[in-house]
Structure 1
Amino acid sequence: MGRAAIVGGGVIGGGWAARFLLNGWDVAIFDPDPEAGRKIGEVLANARRSLPGLYERGLPAEGSLTFCATVEETVAGADWVQESVPERLDLKHRVLAQVMAAAPEGVVIGSSTSGFKPSELNEKGATAIVAHPFNPVYLLPLVELVGEADRTARAAETLRGIGMFPLTVRKEIDAHIADRFLEAVWREALWLVKDGVATTEEIDEAIRMGFGLRWAQMGMFETYRIAGGEAGMRHFMAQFGPCLTWPWTKLMDVPEFNDELVDLIAGQSDAQSGHRSIRELERLRDDNLVGIMRALKRTGSGAGGVIRDHEARLPLAETGPDGLPVTVEMQVPTTYVDYNGHMNEAPYMEVSARASDRFMEMIGADAAYIAGGLSYFTAENHIRYFSEIDIGDRITVTTQVLGGDGRKLHLLNKFWTGGETPAATVETLLLHVDLSTRRVVAPRADVAEKAAAMAAAHAGAPRPDRLVIGR
């Protein structure tokens, strides 16, 4: 880990601070706004609630957060500097000059700019690169990198280490890649509202009920390839290419930006979302993103692949509070919590199944073993609840072998949340199966030996006061 310096603590700067902090970095922040501490504290509260819920492993211990009085104090000793001041080139020039004067030589200096090119940022002698993220920075993985090759390469490695997806832009261009695309959609949306074709709410419905769901996993070109059917992209282009000459859009014809247009858009937006505070909208957004991104993680699609790769880098403790092997470490995500505010029954089974899968890997019944035609199937489960597990709680699951002869594995998955006793246990019986016949068979010799060794090692561990399986 290292020390990140954040210059500018607004929505984007606060998001950067949360992303680094929750991945174990120490963070120093400078922002002259007297409300910066409160605002960043609220962003951090949202990030702590949502980001760890993307993972089935625990993130590193949170780093330290320091508010500094000057830019110079903030960047001293930094391993990464992120400038996130407002989009005014003269202001960025002044701030980058201060950063250059005080930051360690050679440190990566990223700018969150959504529009300026590195050549513009560095007109006064700075060596910054564009590191343009997307809101919320602590959840969305994309960062557009533009600039000198060595610096962007080093930046990419750091960003992957905190669970982000660096996309290096091949050449300088105003607004990089994503914002140019968004600007085109935004311009067309402004015309649709101005001309009375649709309201702000109706446009948002068109996006979130349709193509937005496809874009989350496949983007544009892969989506259109599928639209071409078996003939693929070539057929799609032949079918819809002529539309490019039709007067469907007004992409280069911008509506006059006047008070009337602002009032129209703002009024419709208030009617659409004014009943919720900004913090309520942020939490709604974060909860939805966690649910979507966790779903994508199952298949490794889109942002889910970034999370899965980052999760594989996160260390798993070897033993838990009871001295038994740890098979799961994670924070309870918002998707696990019911209307009573605590984790409901189904996630207990999901987490327990994940713990059993991890135990299978530990004794050699891993993906390669399963691909070879052998596996363990769950035959029985019995849950006992001892205390509530709530959203944001960090769960450590340990697995105890209660018995088994290789064909059978009798396990106890214990859920720990920080107390001296488990918050819950799941007693489970697994049978070793030949996948081609679906019949119970003996495991491979090395797997049987490891299972027997685990059973012997756990023989002296305390057993539950009552068991259901095999009584």
Structure 2
Amino acid sequence: MTRITKAACIGGGVIGGGWIARFLLAGIDVSVFDPHPEASRIVGEVLANAEKAYAMLTGAPLPPRGRLTFETSLQEAVSGADWIQESVPERLDLKRRVLTEIDAAARPDALIGSSTSGLLPSDLQRDMKHPERLFVAHPYNPVYLLPLVEIVGGEKTSKATIEAAMERLVPIGMKGVHIVKEIEAFVGDRLLEALWREALWLIHDDICTVETLDDVIRYSFGLRWAQMGLFQTYRIAGGEAGMRHFLAQFGPCLAWPWTKLTDVVDLDDALIEKIGKQSDEQAAGLSIRALERIRDENLVGILQALKAGNDGRGWGAGQLLKDFERSLWAAGGGKTAAIDPSGPLKLVETKVSPAWVDYNSHMTEHRYLQVFGDTSDALLRLIGVDLAYVEAGRSYYTVETHIRHLGEAKLGQAIHSTCQILAVDDKRLHLFHTICDTESGAVLATAEQMLLHVDTEAGKATPAPAAVLDKANLIATAHAKLPPPDGAGRHVGQKR
């Protein structure tokens, strides 16, 4: 599968910043051009929120974060990039000028996507010398969490460009949907505009407040839409007879004068002030950044719930997250260093993220277990127990863990973990992990674990194959020459 190797983002506002975070967290280097004097600060705040969200979203090993550079010119930013994302303000003249400059400076095979929320790609590509590589790549905010991208080609966009764009979104955890005919506002924004128009009338006519209207959405059909969308939801509403019955029963309602979708509300100063005042009251003093973090935490919870599903297979965006995580596990979080069994293996290096800390800014207990679990997983990948091995129906299960908390890991602290193999037999791995402060080397926690090799389909312990045991024994033989780690064999409450 073709991957993006370097991205360029022209514009670093709400949408541009989201694209930057999405690319960086997928391990892609990003060059940015934005003349705004505070572009670096704005992008940095968006990236901080994204990193916190990803720490909650997945335990799969992310690749090393891409390198972020801010350039002083558009030409420098697009140099060498194979995906260029334009996210400048929604003005046709501005976008045309910027896209034409990108077209002139980009390498010949670069893909050029526009984040426009409604302008036609044919209009955008009018002045380009290579219009065949321009397409609309319309995402949804926050781009780093919501996976959908509407891909829309113009009259001169090549089929190969559309196919390449769709393919390159997959490795960064996004879902491209090809809108086969260009139309103003595409699909998503047309649906949103219809809802928004009716919502404005309801506020204008004092039917309800903005908070009441939002409550109607978030406590009812918004939850349904998160996993099934519109048509499948209505199919269920049709009962056993399905969609045809629903259409026959509720179709006549379309002729009733319920809505004002053909009327445009006058957004005069009075209505703007009414909506603004009610919105301020609804926010209850929370800043935009605070609201973004709350939004992200809620979205992570929904995505995680959809990933689990009732049958374990995932649903909607949750299935996409599950597929994305499978690719991350298959990659193993990047290149693995060569095995040096002369000492405990340094397998995990990370920082304590905002999502990992409690009210004291100390790492919470379950995050220690997560790091220890990541350490065991890294060892398993070293000895050949990777995603393909697990998919074939075999794995190691952790059957016992003893954790000692000896220090405090704090917000932003660089930490790493090591693994020493204490013993190996045909079914068991006996491991000892240590989490250390990277700067001082101080021991923060240890974990002694017993892992059991199982046949997942048979549901019982079975001997590991020779190829796995040979690699494990190679490390264990070297580790047997090391001093026994302090704390190995201890039990809870044992005196020192």
Instruction: Tell whether 2:151 aligns with 1:145.
Output: yes
Query: In the TM superposition, what whole-angstrom CA distance separates every residue of 1:194-224 from its partner, at most 9, and x where no partner exists?
Result: 2222211112222222332332233233333
Instruction: Map residues 1-400 of structure 1 onto 2, 5 A cutoff.
Output: 2-55=5-58, 56-68=60-72, 70-125=73-128, 127=131, 128-147=134-153, 148=157, 149-229=159-239, 231-273=241-283, 275-298=285-308, 299-311=313-325, 312-313=327-328, 314-316=331-333, 317-318=335-336, 335-353=355-373, 356=376, 362=383, 378-390=398-410, 397-400=417-420
> Letter of the aligned partner of 1:6 in structure 2?
C
Question: 401-410 vs 149-158, which deviates more?
Answer: 401-410
Contact 2:432 2:448 in 1 (8 A): yes
Contact 1:397 1:414 in 2 (8 A): yes
> Letter of the aligned partner of 2:316 in structure 1?
G
Task: Report how far residue 89 of structure 1 moved.
Answer: 1.0
Task: Report how far residue 95 of structure 1 moved.
Answer: 1.9
- 1:102, 1:125 → 2: CA distance? 11
Change (3 A) 1:216 1:414: farther
- 2:141, 2:186 → 1: CA distance? 16
Task: Report how far residue 184 of structure 1 moved.
Answer: 1.5
- 2:23, 2:45 → 1: CA distance? 16
Change (3 A) 1:88 1:104: same
Contact 1:382 1:468 in 2 (8 A): no
SS in 1 for 2:113: strand
Change (3 A) 1:209 1:325: farther
SS in 2 for 1:188: helix
> Letter of the aligned partner of 1:58 in structure 2?
L
Task: Report how far residue 369 of structure 1 moved.
Answer: 7.0
SS in 1 for 2:142: coil
- 1:301, 1:460 → 2: CA distance? 50
Question: 147-156 vs 210-219, which deviates more?
Answer: 210-219
SS in 1 for 2:265: coil
* Cα RMSD, aligned residues only: 3.6
Contact 1:114 1:179 in 2 (8 A): yes
SS in 1 for 2:112: strand
- 1:231, 1:368 → 2: CA distance? 44
> Letter of the aligned partner of 1:261 in structure 2?
L
SS in 2 for 1:262: helix
SS in 2 for 1:136: coil
Contact 2:30 2:66 in 1 (8 A): no
Contact 2:401 2:447 in 1 (8 A): yes
- 1:74, 1:366 → 2: CA distance? 37
> Letter of the aligned partner of 1:41 in structure 2?
G
Query: In the TM superposition, what whole-angstrom CA distance separates every residue of 1:135-164 from its partner, at most 9, and x where no partner exists?
Result: 222222222111122212222233333332
- 1:228, 1:332 → 2: CA distance? 49
- 1:260, 1:104 → 2: CA distance? 50
Task: Report how far residue 408 of structure 1 moved.
Answer: 4.3
Change (3 A) 1:249 1:356: farther
- 1:242, 1:442 → 2: CA distance? 63
> Letter of the aligned partner of 1:65 in structure 2?
T
Change (3 A) 1:407 1:29: closer
SS in 1 for 2:220: helix
Contact 1:89 1:121 in 2 (8 A): yes
Q: Sequence identity of aligned pairs in percent?
A: 50
Query: In the TM superposition, what whole-angstrom CA distance separates every residue of 1:27-54 from its partner, at most 9, and x where no partner exists?
Result: 3333232232332232233233333543
Change (3 A) 1:412 1:212: farther
Change (3 A) 1:448 1:15: closer
SS in 2 for 1:423: strand
- 2:171, 2:435 → 1: CA distance? 28
- TM-score when scaled to structure 2? 0.80
Contact 2:26 2:65 in 1 (8 A): yes
Counterpart of 1:467 in structure 2 is: 488
- The one of 402, 418, 441 equivalent to 2:422 is 402
- Relative contact order (C-alpha < 8 Å, sep 6+): which is higher? 1
Question: 93-102 vs 304-313, which deviates more?
Answer: 304-313
- 1:274, 1:315 → 2: CA distance? 43
Number of matched pairs: 468
Gaps of 5+ in 2: none
